[in-house]
Amino acid sequence: MTKAGLAGVVAPVLTPFTAAGEPDAGRFVEHARWLLAEGCTALAPFGTTSEGNSLSSAERKVLLISLLAAGIDPARLMPGTGLCSIPETADLTKHAVELGCAGVLVLPPFYYKGVSDEGLYRYFASLFERVADNRLRVYLYHIPPMTQIGFSLPLIERLCRDFPSIVAGIKDSSGDWSHTKHLIEALPGLAVYSGAETTLLSNLKLGGAGCISATANVSARLLRQIFESQGDAEALQARASAIRQEFQSGPLIPAIKAVIAHHRSDPNWRNTRAPLEPMAGVDATKLVARLAALGFEFDHRSTA
């Protein structure tokens, strides 16, 4: 178990949208409850998979409150709060902490490229000072393929050393297992999550925290079996990795939404917010067929 108790399968919750492009709180809550029933340890709304950077701060707050109003325990929530602006990031972070969320997932300020470790350190030190709450637990979000700004090992070590009660973990979405492995080995005590389930078993064998993966939105039950080592873990991992590869054959977020729309017989689930576009119907049909050939299962009847 990690220091914040969130080890396991964490789903970066998809954000459903109406046909008009507005967040659909009803479907959002329903999906979040289903994910917990499927075996997710925690939920991480408003990250990449959630189209978080296409949501306003006000929309994020409303959706977060809707989860709590539905009875979801804030101790199982790790909302994304990282923006380029320190005041806005602090505002979203304070809101999450005051609602009792177990932690927040924070991107580096990603607009300016080529910034130094010192500049990134000052950003986070300022953020922590502005929030000024002993309950604050931060999970760093390392995703250089999207941000082109990352967390170097010396920077992580410095943040952990200077803010040991705040910096709780890191999500490594570098796509490089050797990097994730190095983080786990070099940072004992820090919760290190793989950014995809393709390395979930390897992560766990080294003492990592698990995964925060987009496809947990549809494969949470299978990933939970790997986490709990139910049955043949190696075979389960191979199956999970094959399913992940199929989803990655097209734009990932529209693909996951299309599969959910199919299995729930709910075309509204296909909706994305611009600039993303829904997956074409013919491509969705082919993806569903390929997944079925892999034994992919989706029990939409589960309830929280």
Tally of domains within the chain: 1
- What CATH number should be reported for the domain holding residue 64? 3.20.20.70
Q: Are 68 and 102 in contact, with CB atoms under 8 Å apart?
A: no
Please report whether residue 20 resides in a domain: yes
Q: Is 244 a member of any domain?
A: no
Identify the segments of the chain with pLDDT beneath 50.
Answer: 1-4, 304
Residue 225 lies in a domain: yes
**Residues recognised as catalytic:** 141, 171
For residue 82, the Cα-to-chain-centroid distance in whole angstroms is 13
Domain membership of residue 147 as a residue range: 8-232
- Whether residue 54 is contained in a domain is answered as yes
157-195, pLDDT tens digit by residue?
999 999 999 999 999 999 999 999 999 999 999 999 999
Rounded CA gap, 29 and 183, in Å?
Answer: 34
- Between β-strands 8-11 and 42-43, what pairing exists: parallel, antiparallel or unpaired? parallel
Per residue in 267-277, pLDDT (tens digit) is: 999 999 999 99
Residue 1 lies in a domain: no
What is the three-class DSSP state of 9? strand
Instruction: Round to whole Å and give the CA distance between 127 and 122.
Output: 8
pLDDT in the model for residue 250 = 85
Q: Residue 141 phi/psi, 5° resolution?
A: -115, 100
Q: Name the DSSP class of 267.
A: G
- Answer yes or no: is 168 within a domain: yes
Q: Considering the domain boundaries, does residue 256 fall inside one?
A: no
pLDDT for residue 1:
34
In a domain? residue 247? no
Query: CB count, 10 Å around CB of 21?
Result: 11
Do residues 103 and 78 touch, judged by C-beta distance below 8 A?
A: yes
- What global pTM score does this model have? 0.94
